[in-house]
Every structure is written in C-alpha cells, then in structure tokens.
Chains A and B, each alone.
Chain A
Amino acid sequence: MSADLVMDTCLLAGEIMLKNGGETYRTEETMSLIARAAGMDSVNSSATPTSIILSFRSNGQDHTRMVRTPSRTINLNKVTLANDVSRRFVSGSITLVEAYRLFQQIDQGKPVYPKWLQHIAAGIASGSFSMLAGGSWLDLIPSVLAGLTVNLSLQFFELFLRMKFFTEFMSALLGGLFALLCVTLFPQLHFSILIIGAMLPLFPGIAITNSLRDLIAGDLVAGVSRGAEALLTALSVAVATAITLWFMR
C-alpha cells in the first residue's frame, strides 16, 4: 500500500469530520485507526478545530502533512457517513482505494435536507421553544416567523460578512427587530417570548457539546477553543438582545 494514498485517505476523512462538526477526538481517533489498519507504524495525529496534523512511519521513512480547515459548517450526516466508512475499512470489508473513493463522494455530497426545509425547521424549533418557555397560542405564529427571519438572514449575511461574530450579531439583531415590529403592531403579544424563540437558531449547541466531549477526552486545547467559539456566539446574541431591549425602552 502506498504511503501517499494512506495519507490522502486519512486526511480526507479527518477533514470531512472536522469541517462538518465532528469532535476533535473522533477525528484524531479515526485518522490513527485508518493509518494503523493500513499497516503504518508510529502513527500520531493531532487536530484542533482549525487544523489537522498527521504523521506516520512507513518502510523506514517518515511522512507528515498538515491541513487547515478554515471554513466550518454543520452536517452531522457527513460525520456519521465518514465514521461508517472508516469502521468498514478498519474491519477489513473494503479496500483503501474504495474507502478513498467513498470519502470523496461523502465530501462532495449535498446536505440531506434542502435549504428551505432547514429554514422551516428553524421556524418550527423557535415556535415550539417559545411555547415551551410559556408563550400563549397567539405568540406561536410570530415566533415561528422570527426564527425563520433569523435563519434566513444568517444564510444571507454569510454571503458577504466574513466574520462569524458579525454574521450572528446581524441576524440576531434582525430577529430582535422583527419581534419588536410584531409587538408594536400587536401589543397583546409577549415581547420576551418572541425574543427567546427568535434567538434559538443561533444557540451554539454543537460547539458546547463538542467542547465538553473534547475536554473530557483530554483534548484540552481543542475543548477550550471550541468553548471560546460558543462564548463568542453567546456574546453576539447577548449584545444584539441588549440593543433590541434598549430600543424597546
């Protein structure tokens, strides 16, 4: 087995996982398992949320390569699929070439759910969450619309605002202003319920859970940096909420 192909396969697998919201420890483990199963010695892998380094020894020669993952989205289906392929390769039911081809297919695959369905899901999540927080039936439709606004504007601002913080801040602000508009037009609505619902699509759930799992797996650097990512999102939402509340006064 050529060392280059092993390296390419491992890095592609790691990149898919890291780019789509997989945990850092899972990325490292997957890469080492594939490399070991392909017969490499002294395998070492290191991943942080923004970069992957893999090194191993084959036929008395060292190989090391590094990949950066500057853009990250969340697509847990791809993580699941990549996990599955690596398991199948390690258990020996597919060859390395097949695994590489499968990883390439996964990497280029489209999201499972179309964009419009995701926007509707964001709306439903917002609506049901604000009802859980104690809203009346009247608040349901406006909070669905507010969640929809936040998610749509998130997609829109991502196109030309290059900062994650700024994108989230702007969408949170827009969602808050929408809630403000609803309350101004229909004073019987609850402003607090609308705001609570509207901010739900921005909740950094993946960052928090992954940061915790990385921390208890012993990946302290990765865990802390993911925690910082989550805090930054929380901060942007908090600032936007404060500005909306200030308008409300």
Chain B
Amino acid sequence: MLLLKGLGLSLLSSMAWGLLFNVPVRTLLACGFAGVTGWLIYFILPHFGAEVILSTFAAATSVSVLSQILSIWLRVPSTNFSVAGIIPLVPGSLAYKAMLAFVNGEYMNGITLAMQTAMVAGAIASGLILGISVLTIWRGARHARKRAH
C-alpha cells in the first residue's frame, strides 16, 4: 500500500514538475516514468541494508542513465527527463530540519543535519554525473576503434 501510494505520488510530482518547465507534450509521461524509477530504487534499497546516501546515489544514477536512453529513443535533449526525475529524491525534509535546528539555536545539531543535506545533494549530483559518463562509454569505444584502424 505504501509502495503503491509512493509510486503514484512520484509519478504525479515528476509529471507536474515537467509541466512546470514546459517539456514537450509527448515526453510528459516519460518524465513521470523517470521519476517513478528513481523513487522506486530510493525506496527499495534501504530494505536491503543500504544507507540513505547510497540509495539516493543509486537512484540518481539510474534516473540519469534512463534519461539518456529515453533521450536517444524519443530524440529530445536528456535534460527534459533528468530534471523531472530527480524531484522525488530532493532532500526537502532534511533541509527543513537543519533550518529548524539553526533557528532554535541548536547549532551542533543544525550543522550535522546541514551536512547530511549536503551529502544527499552531493549524492544526487554525483549520481547524475556518473549516469551521463557511463553512457559515453560506447561512444568512446567507437572512437577508439576508428583510431585503431
């Protein structure tokens, strides 16, 4: 039930986010699909003992790889998908808790939470980068083969 609710909500939020950024109409559903995939991995990995940061990283990587594949398939820039796909992973509640701790004067607690927020944000960023880099392997391999001939 929790899974089903999360799937629906991540689909909705990613599609709405894509709509907010004027993505082409034919890619709207694919945007939602990217968001669902990312959220699913983010949700499932902790059940296998992964930490939040690791699961965020894995989710961001898969969103990035998926948006590259979708961009080749639908022939649109991959930004369309990756921007909407990372929305369910945004560390909103962590950032809020950090802010709350700072306002209440609990500076040590606030720094810990802010550090955690930064780590999760960094995990999203490095996941996106890894996903883009992985997909350039075949292009590089083609290039290397051409040079060898």
Contact = CB atoms under 8 A, between A and B. Distances in A.
A74 B22 contact: yes
Nearest to A200: B92
Q: Which of A76, A205, A245 has the most CB of B within 10 A?
A: A76
Contacts of B75: 84
B83 interface: yes
Interface residues of B, number: 44
B137 interface: no
A206 B83 contact: yes
Contacts of A125: 12-13, 16-17, 20, 87
Given A74-B21, A213-B132, A192 B79 contact: no
B129 interface: yes
A132 B88 contact: yes
Report, as a range, how many residues of chain A touch the other chain: 35 or more
B24 A133 contact: no
A55 interface: no
B128 to A, nearest CB: 6
Contacts of B24: 76-77, 80-81, 112
Contact of A201 (B20, B86, B103): B20
A31 interface: no
A80 B22 CA distance: 10
Interface string A205-232: 1101110110010000000000000000
Tell me the dominant secondary structure on chain A's binding face: helix
Nearest to B103: A245
A113 B19 contact: yes
A242 B99 contact: yes
Contacts of A196: 92-93, 96
B111 interface: no
Contact of B83 (A77, A201, A205, A238): A205
26 contacts: A74-B22, A75-B22, A79-B77, A80-B80, A111-B22, A112-B25, A113-B19, A118-B19, A121-B17, A121-B20, A122-B16, A125-B13, A128-B9, A128-B10, A133-B92, A192-B93, A200-B13, A201-B20, A203-B87, A206-B79, A216-B129, A241-B96, A241-B99, A242-B103, A249-B103, A249-B104
4 closest A-B pairs (Cβ-Cβ)?
A: A125-B16, A128-B13, A121-B19, A124-B16
Given A124-B13, A125-B87, 16 more contacts: A26-B77, A76-B83, A80-B27, A80-B76, A83-B76, A112-B22, A121-B17, A128-B12, A129-B13, A199-B92, A205-B17, A206-B21, A209-B82, A212-B125, A242-B103, A245-B100
